[in-house]
Every structure is written in C-alpha cells, then in structure tokens.
Structure 1
Amino acid sequence: MSNSADNKEPPHKKRRTSPSPSPPDSSWSPLSSLPDEMILSCLARVSRLDQAALSLVSKSYRYLMASPELYKTRSELGCVENCFYVWLVTSPDLTPRWFILRRGETLNRLSPIPSLSSQPPEASSVVVMDWGIYVIGGFIKETTRTSDVWLLDCRSHTWRQVPSMGVARACAAVGVVNGKIYVFGGCLDPDSSNWAEVFDPKTQTWESLPPMPDRIKRDQYIHDSVVVRGDKIYAVDGIDRTYCYSPSEGKWGRGNDAPTNGNKRDWCVIDGLIFCIAHSGNVYWCEPDQLECEPEGMYWRKVKGLVSLKKRLSSSRLVHFDGKIEALWESYKITIGRDKKLIDLLPGTRLSNSGSNVLLLWDVIEENHLEIWCAEISLERRQGHEIWGNIISLERRQGGEVWGNIEWSNAVMTVDHFLDRSKVLYSASVTL
C-alpha cells in the first residue's frame, strides 16, 4: 500500500487512543470506523441475549463479545446482568450438559451452550468467580475421584483446563474469599495435610491449608453447601454441623450446629441473610450471625408467601447425589431403623441466587414427558415483633419476617419420552 498524501488520515478524524480490540483478520463492520472507546461503549450497552446474536455477524464482533475490555467497560458503566447457568443431566443421554437461561418477553427457556464430555458426571464442586465458573473434582468413574479443574469462560462460552488440585476430591465444599478459591474435604484421607487447599488464579497455583485440629474434625462427607461471611468460609457436613476457616488468621474454627428437622441444601447469602431449601418444599432463612457457635443452634424461619409452590417443590426429585453415597445410606439406614430412600430425604428442588432474588428449579412429570420448571422470587423483609414465651425466643424473632413474591414461573425445558428423572447437578448466577 502506498504512502501517498491521498492515503493519510484526515486531520479532523479522531485518532485511536488505545490498542484496537479487534483481531488482525477482522472483517468489516458498521462500527469499524469508530474509535475503540466508542465501539466498546456501544456494545457494552447491548443486552447479553442480543450480544449472543451479534457475535454471529462477524469474527470481529465475536472477538469483541469475549474481550476482557468489554467486560470491564460493562462493569464501569453499570450495564452488567445476572446470567443464570444450569448443569443438567437428562435421559436418554446421561452426559452432563450446560445451559443458560434465555429470558424472553413472555417465556424463559434453557438453551444449551458448549459442554465438555470429559467432565465428571457426579459429585463435582462448582464455584463462580468474576466471569467464570470453576468445575472442581468429582467422580470420573463410579468411585474414582479426580483432581481435575475446568473453567467455563462465560463471556465466550469456552472451556479450558486449569492446574489440578494437590489431591483428588469429590463432594468437596468450595468458596471464594478475596479472589482465591478455597476447597475443603472430599478426599479419601480426612487426616491428610491436603484436606483443604486454596487456588490463586493470579499465580495459577494451589497451596495446602493448615491441618484442621482434631477437636473440630468433621465427617468425611460434606454437603456442597458453603457460605462466605466476611473473610470466613462456613461449610456444612453430612449431619448439618458447620465449621469455618479464616484465611486472614489462617485458623480453623467451629461454627454453629444447624438443626433442621430434615436436610437442607443450597445455602447462599442474599442481601446479608442466609437462604436454603428443604425437602418439605419450604424456603428457609436465618440471620448470618447465627453461624457462630451458640448452644441453641441456628434458628431457621420460613420465607412466607410461597404456599402455591410448596406442593410442587416437595414432590420434585431434581436431586444430585452419587451412587456411593446412596449405597452408604442403604447400609446405614438398617442400623438406625429407617426405611426411607435417600432420594425421599434430600431436597428435590435446587435453589440459587440471582442478584438479590432467589431462583428455584424443580421437575414435574406430565404423562409421557418431564418438565423442568423455574421460578424467580423477589424478597421483602418486613420488620415486626412477635410475642413468644421466653426472652430467647423473643430476641431471635425480632428481625421481622421475609416474604417472597413470585416474579415469574414457567417450564424452561421439556424432556420427551424420558427414562428416568433428571438431575440438576448445579446452578449458578454469573454477573456479566
């Protein structure tokens, strides 16, 4: 190309002030003549649903949709959205697949995104950090644990493997504090010095945490439920007891016991309160300071206003537990005189947060097909005082009540000619 005066940039045209975010082989687009800052500012205001369609227009658009610069610009402009992802197993193909919830004007549906056939079909732990979802450990065979870790980049829906853990794990508890991922348990040897590890994404390295003291050792099996409060991580063991780790102090501690009168799962913190789901179909909440050790245990209260959902939630069997845990229960229930199956004791509904709202997933059998339903619940805390028989009860109820309002509810997937009930292995909300 010649360097003649005719090819020089006109003096009135604004020069680019930052490196172009477009790839070298990008094709022409209507925005290509604009300054980079203006391009990013325009695209940052486009909804994630429209961005997915826009990425099909050209390579340059597709590159921009996945660029770190766009993610940063959306955050700075306050244009981020809560994107809801579901990891699901349905028959007849029992390979776990990932979906994203596409929100429409009148109907919301689950749409498939790229998945990995190499991901463990059972007992992985999943955690969200920034724009990505980490899938940690799990059973690659019926009883073989793995130390593999995979990362789903939710900006581009692409996968990559990250450094493996020091030990193989399944059914571990996972939480994020100060930009690092902490993993507890799930390994064969509960006395191992690697019982807990921490991953630093900046250095891409794993380090072992100090061993847990004998006086607070817990069961080898723990829930996937974990709560982060301040700089402490609280995990729940197999009989609803909690323990915690403080990264700033490098110390383990004992949390409060969590008597539930029935198993609860999917603990999460929304606007400073802890929420979870029970097998009865009720959504419960409690104050976060009750995680600290108290002789009375944690006090759970029902979220009111959701009576219309309770029957369907309690009859759902959208549960996840591996075959080994089910076999252990079958041998254990004989010694305690119980005859119920594990599937009838665990909550069959999945609960997750989406910003300040709750998202619930459950299944419904309709003749020869199965429907997976989703509902979004907004929350309202109403202050008030209730009179009870003693001082402790009065103090614990002075926080008022939490009411739920159903914003929308519809079937997000239909499975025809299904052979067995489906499993939601995990659901998560990512801010993009």
Structure 2
Amino acid sequence: MKMARSGASASLIDEKKIYVFGGCWDVADSSNWVEVYDLQTDTWEFLSVFTPKMPLKIRQSVVTDNNKHVHAVDEDGQIFNFSATECAFESDGRRESNPENRSNWLFAVGDTIFCRGTGGKILWRFPSQLDWKEVHGLEELQQQHSGFDIIKMLIHSNERMAILWEARPQGPQHILELWYAEISMVRGCIDGVLEVLGTIEWSGPIFSDSSVTGLNLLFAETFYL
C-alpha cells in the first residue's frame, strides 16, 4: 500500500478490486483517503472520491447490492454509503445506535445486514433502516451456553452462516473449548411481523485445551473441499 493506515475498512467489490477507506492520519489530504488494489494488475492506486466527511476510522463496513455498494459506519456512528460505479460517498445524516455492540457485519439472505450482538445474539436489519432486530430460533443455544459472546461470524452462502465462541464446560479440569455452530436463515412472519428465523444445523466443540486461559481468534474464513 501507498499509505500506512490504522482503523481502515477493506471491501472486495466485484471480485476484482479491494477498496480501502480511511485509517490514514493525514485526514486533511483527501487524495490519500481511499486506496484501491487491482487483483488483475497487482497494483495499488489512490482514488479521488467525493465524500461529505473524511473520518479517521471506519468502525464497520459491509458490501451490499450485488457487490456494487459499501454500507459503512465511522467512529462517530455516522452512516455512509459508497457507490463503486459513481465513485462517491453519500450520507443522509443518520447515525448508528450503540455501534460498539454492533460488530462483524455480514450481508446475506438477499438484502439483509447481520451483526453479532451481546449474549450470543445475532441481529439483523435492512440497509435502509436503523433498528436492529434479533434472529429467532437460537434460544436453545443461548440457554445451553448462558452468557456466551460470539467471537466470529462467517457466511457460508446467501442463506447460511456460522458462528464461533469460547466455552468453559463445568468440571474440575477447567477445559477451554472453541465451539462452532452452522445456522440456516430464512425470512418469515411471526404474528404478522417480518422476522429472520434461524435453524441450528450443527453445533459442537472444534478445539479444546486445558493448558490455556484464553483464546484470540485472529481470522476465520469459509472454504470448500
């Protein structure tokens, strides 16, 4: 890259280019605010874009609308939308509520943004809305692992995702386990209200160790064998 960054957002658009927004400390120079990596030519270049604000850090971002737009939230909670075809950012002044507890954004089930909440909850909303709602159907898992927090969410397909979390089963050995669950998602109505319904397809521990006190999961991704 041409510019050192911290707190930037990276988004793969059209499977061809990686757009990196923000994270550069010299916010006075707008020409440095966006960098693009072209996978075909293996080159980086600065991108001149119009934006009503150049935040230092991007808190969350997700690619939407057939890989043509990026929906992002900055460190102040302000919401931005980036268009790759128009090469411009726009903001209508809306702000994300409680952004520190709305992390790991994913886009699935057609046109829905998902994020991890607290207490093992998965939340969802449409890009045009601000109110997050809880995914139904995960209550049994939340009761089985009371008080757990999701470490990482992954997309398997448009209708299926996976979550990972840390668990400590009761017992004298104090074994630490990394658990994994695969969840299918569909939209449906409950009492006339549109909701997202989750079904746990499989869950179980995939790693255990009695010699460690904590886990730092740096990265996880889905691939097929």
Q: TM-score with structure 1 length normalisation?
A: 0.46
What's the counterpart of residue 101 of structure 1?
Answer: none
Q: Percent identity?
A: 31
Specify the code of the residue in structure 2 equivalent to 1:277.
Answer: R
Partner residue of 1:404 out of 198, 201, 209: 198
Instruction: Tell me if the contact between 2:49 and 2:88 (Cα under 8 Å) persists in the aligned partners.
Output: no
What's the counterpart of residue 53 of structure 2?
Answer: 216
Note if 1:199 corresponds to 2:37: yes
Instruction: Tell me if the contact between 2:77 and 2:99 (Cα under 8 Å) persists in the aligned partners.
Output: no
Q: Which structure has more helix as a fraction of its residues?
A: 1
CA distance in 2 between counterparts of 1:431 and 1:180 reads 23
Partner residue of 2:5 out of 162, 166, 169: 169
What's the counterpart of residue 421 of structure 1?
Answer: 214
Q: Which has the higher contact order (CA 8 A, sep 6+)?
A: 1
How far did 1:198 drift? Answer: 0.8
Note if 1:382 corresponds to 2:188: yes
CA distance in 1 between counterparts of 2:209 and 2:89 reads 45
What's the counterpart of residue 18 of structure 2?
Answer: 181
Give SS of 2:32's match: coil
Deviations along 1:332-367, one digit per CA (max 9) or x if unpaired, are: xxxxxxxxxxxxxxxx53111111211010001244
CA distance in 2 between counterparts of 1:202 and 1:301 reads 39
CA distance 1:415–1:241, change in 2 (3 Å):
farther
Specify the code of the residue in structure 1 equivalent to 2:175.
Answer: H
Note if 1:315 corresponds to 2:148: yes
Partner residue of 1:303 out of 127, 135, 138: 135
CA distance 1:221–1:313, change in 2 (3 Å):
farther
What's the counterpart of residue 154 of structure 2?
Answer: 352
How far did 1:238 drift? Answer: 2.7
Partner residue of 1:373 out of 173, 179, 187: 179
Instruction: Tell me if the contact between 1:372 and 1:413 (Cα under 8 Å) persists in the aligned partners.
Output: yes
CA distance in 1 between counterparts of 2:210 and 2:77 reads 37
CA distance in 2 between counterparts of 1:261 and 1:223 reads 8
How far did 1:262 drift? Answer: 5.8
How far did 1:201 drift? Answer: 0.9
Give SS of 2:168's match: strand
Specify the code of the residue in structure 1 equivalent to 2:177.
Answer: E
Specify the code of the residue in structure 1 equivalent to 2:3.
Answer: V
Deviations along 1:310-335, one digit per CA (max 9) or x if unpaired, are: 3537434xxxxxxxxxxxxxxxxxxx
Specify the code of the residue in structure 2 equivalent to 1:183.
Answer: V
Specify the code of the residue in structure 2 equivalent to 1:247.
Answer: A
Instruction: Tell me if the contact between 1:262 and 1:278 (Cα under 8 Å) persists in the aligned partners.
Output: no
Give SS of 1:309's match: helix
How far did 1:194 drift? Answer: 1.5
Write the mapping of 1:135-174 to structure 2, written as runs, cut at 5 A: 165-174=1-10
CA distance in 1 between counterparts of 2:76 and 2:140 reads 30
CA distance 1:258–1:405, change in 2 (3 Å):
same
How well do the aligned residues superpose, as a CA RMSD in angstroms?
2.4
What's the counterpart of residue 42 of structure 1?
Answer: none
CA distance in 2 between counterparts of 1:261 and 1:251 reads 23
Q: TM-score with structure 2 length normalisation?
A: 0.84
What's the counterpart of residue 91 of structure 2?
Answer: 254
Greater radius of gyration (CA): 1
Q: Which structure has more strand as a fraction of its residues?
A: 2
What's the counterpart of residue 9 of structure 1?
Answer: none
Give SS of 1:421's match: coil
Deviations along 1:31-53, one digit per CA (max 9) or x if unpaired, are: xxxxxxxxxxxxxxxxxxxxxxx
CA distance in 2 between counterparts of 1:212 and 1:263 reads 29
Give SS of 1:361's match: strand
